[in-house]
Amino acid sequence: MVLNFIMEVIFLFMTVFGTLGNISVSVNNMISWWRGPEKKPIHIILIHLAFTNIMILFAKGWTKTLAAFGLRKFPGDTGCKVFIYLQRVSRGVSICTSGLLTVVQAIIISPRASGWRRLRPQSAWHILPFFSFFWILNALISMNLIHSVTSVSLNISQFMSEDGYCYFMQESQKTKWIVLPLMVLRDAVFQGAMGMASGYMVLLLHKHHQHVLHLQNSKLLYRTPHELRAAQSVLLLMLCFVFFYWTDCAFSLILSISLRNNSLMANVQKFLALGYATFSPFVLIHRDGLLPECWHALWEKLRKYL
């Protein structure tokens, strides 16, 4: 009982903390996008990633937050379908957007003579069709949840979800063999692209480090310090993604094959499921260093009036 209360408080903190962090990243990139002389695709991708993270925290985190305040009968049958469906779709879109972010950043810092430069988006608006594709793709993949999720009030054969008040009904083997391969294929494609793009950026950053002291105007690699710093931020973001994604998968697998109901491991798995959406914006905030400066300037102005 005490453990459950502690975990609910932690989930409440993560939800509020993560939501504020993603809002801050979104606002910071909106300001940079509108004020900048060039509308950079990276800004709009980060805005979309922050929005997707907020959706994950809203769908998964706020239900736990409401439970912490005693609203355990929430959200009902329709609410269960909406929240779990939104969780699944948002998680898939987050994976796709993270992969797109890594690939675009790798193209941006690629050498001028490289063939990858021809794939560089000429405008931030060229990225928008990818977002539509991601939402439609994941919405279609997760359509089975509309029929398989129900509330605890229905007395039928079912499996409990991790939230404790929504249930998954038994699905046909045909549905499983359609949905599961699509999810695995989606994750493999976008994480594979993420891995290759990250490796390519590491190689370029290593070359830059070797040549920066000797070649001031290298024709092989000529990138601005801002672009290199942005690439390093994206690499850290991808490390954050890989850590939370694969540890979440590992704990989920252990729980699925475990014969005992381990509440501690289940709570750890819930923590990991929210980890990327909660902590990834603070990786960007720490790397950019812009938000603390803005808060410091705002605080100094407020002190003059106090």
What average pLDDT does the structure give for the chain? 78
Q: What is the DSSP track for 198-223?
A: HHHHHHHHHHHHHHTTT-TT-SS---
C-alpha–C-alpha distance, residues 267 and 273, integer Å: 10
C-alpha–C-alpha distance, residues 163 and 65, integer Å: 11
> Distance of alpha carbon 99 from its chain centroid, rounded?
10
pLDDT value, residue 101: 93
C-alpha–C-alpha distance, residues 23 and 42, integer Å: 16
Looking at per-residue pLDDT, the higher value among 278 and 65 belongs to 278
Domains and CATH numbers, the chain: 2-305 (1.20.1070.10)
pLDDT value, residue 222: 45
Query: Among residues of the chain, what percentage have pLDDT more than 70?
Result: 73
pLDDT value, residue 157: 47
Q: ∠ CA 77-82-84 to the nearest 5 degrees?
A: 95
Rounded mean pLDDT of 67-90?
A: 74
pLDDT tens readout for residues 167-223: 777 767 777 778 888 999 999 999 999 999 999 888 888 776 666 555 544 444 445
Rounded mean pLDDT of 226-234?
A: 76
pTM over the 0.85 mark: no
Looking at per-residue pLDDT, the higher value among 41 and 220 belongs to 41
C-alpha–C-alpha distance, residues 173 and 253, integer Å: 20
pLDDT tens readout for residues 108-145: 888 777 777 777 777 777 889 999 999 999 999 988 88
**Cis bond upstream, residue 75 (ω within 30):** yes
Looking at per-residue pLDDT, the higher value among 300 and 239 belongs to 239
Query: Among residues of the chain, what percentage have pLDDT more than 90?
Result: 25
pLDDT value, residue 191: 92
Which among 61-70, 76-85, 232-241 has the top mean pLDDT? Answer: 232-241
3-state secondary structure of 164: coil
pLDDT value, residue 187: 92
Q: At residue 168, what are phi and psi to the nearest 5 degrees?
A: -105, 125
